[in-house]
A and B are shown apart, each in its own frame.
Chain A
Amino acid sequence: MIEDTRSINTTATLLLMAGCAFVLAPLVFVVITATQSYGDFLRNNFSLTPGSHLVENFRQVWEMTLLPRQTFNSFVIAFASAFGRCFLAFTTAYAVVFFAPRYSIFIYAAVLASIMLPLDLMVIPAYQVAANVAMPINAVANLGGGWETLFGAPLDLQLNLLNTYAGAAIPLMAQGTGTLIMVQYFKTLPVDLAKAATLDGASPLRFMVDILLPLSKGPLLSLFIYLFIGGWVAYMWPLVSISSPDMQTAVVGLTALDTGMGEDEIPNFPLQMAGAIMVTVIPLVLIALTQRLIVRGLILSEK
């Protein structure tokens, strides 16, 4: 190692540069295309010479398409689903670790099931439930005609969540990776902390809010960012559960961005690329802003 650091350094640098080039090439392509006008693009096809229409393209995306509205939708849905998942992860892990109930094993089973059966696999039943949230209640009440014999008609409650933020966000919450992560984190905390708080007179809820929550800031924030991005790029479920374009998320909206009029028409690729940049920028900004906190969270949880 030590004899030949310089050549190792050089090799490593070269390898890293090659890797960067490989990863960045498509991005460069996206940015360059976004600078061209539709006219130029039709004339020259894809080219590597930057054009001068970047701002114009952004303006067009901003003013003429639904993408700004859809970006806002994405933000709401990603935020709500990430927040919900963090909340569930935190509270579930708290119950499992600090109260060790007898039924912990069932919670673990449910968490595992939610990881092994992702939403994409259950799109159709999830769609049916979202179309009428009361459906399971109806089904149970009408079991063997029970409700009908009691009240004369089958129970038929209706609550449609399709095309709503709730309908898009809530099913995205039903995934338990965060719970496992928080369980692992809580297990690294000293057990006597809870005992000390109990003797100090703190109720379990108070312990959770006063002690556990501040101590979990780091891991929770990392988890939140990770899940936020997951919600931001979710494609299948928003596509299925939202049909009206102005409720749609940005990632889905992107695919519908000026794809050309007729069968043979060439899509407005520069406009699409400008849109793609806009949609990517928000999670990037989020990461950039919170990067320090995330790193600190990771270090804290190592302790």
Chain B
Amino acid sequence: MSAQSHAAGIHLTDLQKTYNKTPVIPGLTAELAAGEFTVILGPSGCGKSTLLNMIAGLEKVSGGKIMIGSREVQNIAPKDRGLAMVFQNYALYPHMSVADNIGYALKVAGVPKDERTSRIQTAANVVNLGDYLDRRPSELSGGQRQRVAIARAIVREPQVLLFDEPLSNLDAKLRHDMRMELSSLHRRIGATSVFVTHDQVEAMTLADRILILNHGRIQQFDTPHNIYHKPANTFVAGFIGSPPMNLIEAQASNGAVSVGGVRLAATEISGDVTVGIRPEHIKVTESGIPVHVAYREDLGSHSTMVVEMENGQTLRLATQLGEPIRGGEWVHITIPEDKLHFFNAATGDALRSN
């Protein structure tokens, strides 16, 4: 299973989905490059699975077009779209052995037995399950089951691999290991991959590009770096990062933006504005804005605090471990001007990102 040359891009054009007159996806246009690893990220119920299922052909589209490579596929049967899918709860056939699970698609397609056996073996080796072919799914651990599901997906050498929250059922350590495996698998296989998750760590680490979805609308579709450093709107800004970015209602006038009388930065805009600052960019300093530490959590590698300014505005901030600060104390913070993000107070769209 060497790198596949036949990965195909996915073009979605004004794709729509309506359930009983409720538009779940009102009209979505996006272009996923061939061989790219796209992560669809968004809160629960935003339509991630619906979008994936439409690409897979498991849900009918209510409108719009799906192209895989140069083929228009929205009216083609799922099996003829050249894609495979990995599900959250594995969806292995419980009564079949690992080998039969992996080879079922080949059997249905009428691939001769010899070829089938060798392809099953190859796919199983890719996910390090070569020795488990005779087991039943119930005799495997969660991680092994998910690997069987992955082998089942890649055995057909699909142009497109779809994943619907495949790691959510695994514990934290296994999830980390599987993330690394998936990443290296993607590099070896090279199939265009679409990966749905609501875990931003998965998104940031796996994705070539992240598509952030809310209420069925694309909020931003960009590289993890840009998503983090140049959020397109307050939704993305507040969704990415842990703890999330502080979003402060502020006023800009006379060339400066300030919140409750405290000057934050120079600016050329004026009027109401939402200012964003990431908790990890706020520094505790000798002098600066005086704040009262309302709450503090030690997380080992760093600690997070909730602080309150004199005018009542609260901020989340993350500090390096070892800062000798306790809850209830008064400290001074500095908010670096070049780390501020500005958003339109009414629409939430980014105005300027430094």
Contacts and interface: CB of A to CB of B under 8 A. Distances in A.
Contact of A199 (B85, B89, B90, B93): B85
B84 A199 contact: yes
Interface stretch (B102-110, B194-202, B216-224, B259-267): B102-110
Interface in B103-146: 104-105, 108-109
Given A214-B95, A215-B94, A199 B108 contact: no
Interface in A195-246: 195-202, 206, 210-211, 214-215
B87 A192 contact: yes
B95 A199 contact: no
A112 interface: no
B105 A192 contact: no
Contacts of B104: 197, 200, 202, 210
A259 B105 CA distance: 64
B79 A200 contact: yes
Contacts of B105: 199-201
Contacts of B58: 195, 198-199
B85 to A, nearest CB: 5
Contacts of A206: 108
B108 A200 contact: yes
Contacts of B56: 195, 199
A193 interface: yes
A190 interface: yes
B50 interface: no
Contacts of B241: none
B243 interface: no
A196 B105 CA distance: 10
Given A201-B108, A202-B108, A206-B108, A195 B95 contact: no
Contact of B91 (A195, A214, A215): A195
B91 A190 contact: yes
Nearest to B138: A303
Given A200-B108, A206-B108, A215 B95 contact: yes
B79 A201 contact: yes
B78 to A, nearest CB: 5
B303 interface: no
B91 A192 contact: yes
B108 A192 contact: no
A206 B79 CA distance: 14
A192 B323 CA distance: 49
A195 B89 CA distance: 12
Say what secondary structure dominates the interface of chain A. Answer: helix
Contacts of A195: 53, 56, 58, 85, 87, 91
Contacts of A198: 57-58, 78-79
Contacts, number: 53
B88 interface: yes
Contacts of A210: 104
Contacts of A214: 95
B83 interface: yes
A196 B79 CA distance: 10
Most buried by A among B56, B84, B87, B90: B87
A193 B95 CA distance: 12
Contacts of B152: 196, 200
Contacts of A211: 93, 95
B109 A201 contact: yes
A202 B79 CA distance: 8
A195 B85 CA distance: 9
A199 B83 contact: yes
A201 B152 CA distance: 12
Contact of A193 (B53, B84, B93, B108): B93
Contacts of B92: 196
Nearest to B155: A200
Contacts of A202: 104, 108
Nearest to B94: A215
Contacts of B79: 198-201
B165 to A, nearest CB: 11
Interface in B64-99: 78-79, 83-85, 87-95
28 contacts: A190-B89, A192-B88, A192-B90, A192-B91, A195-B53, A195-B56, A195-B85, A195-B91, A196-B87, A196-B91, A196-B93, A196-B152, A197-B93, A198-B57, A198-B58, A198-B78, A199-B84, A199-B105, A200-B79, A200-B152, A201-B105, A201-B109, A210-B104, A211-B93, A211-B95, A214-B95, A215-B94, A215-B95
Interface of B: 53, 56-58, 78-79, 83-85, 87-95, 104-105, 108-109, 152
Across the A-B interface, give the 7 residue pairs with the lowest CB-CB distance, nearest first. Answer: A192-B91, A201-B79, A200-B105, A196-B91, A192-B87, A201-B108, A214-B95
Interface of A: 190, 192-193, 195-202, 206, 210-211, 214-215
Given A190-B89, A195-B56, A198-B79, 5 more contacts: A192-B89, A199-B56, A199-B58, A201-B79, A201-B108
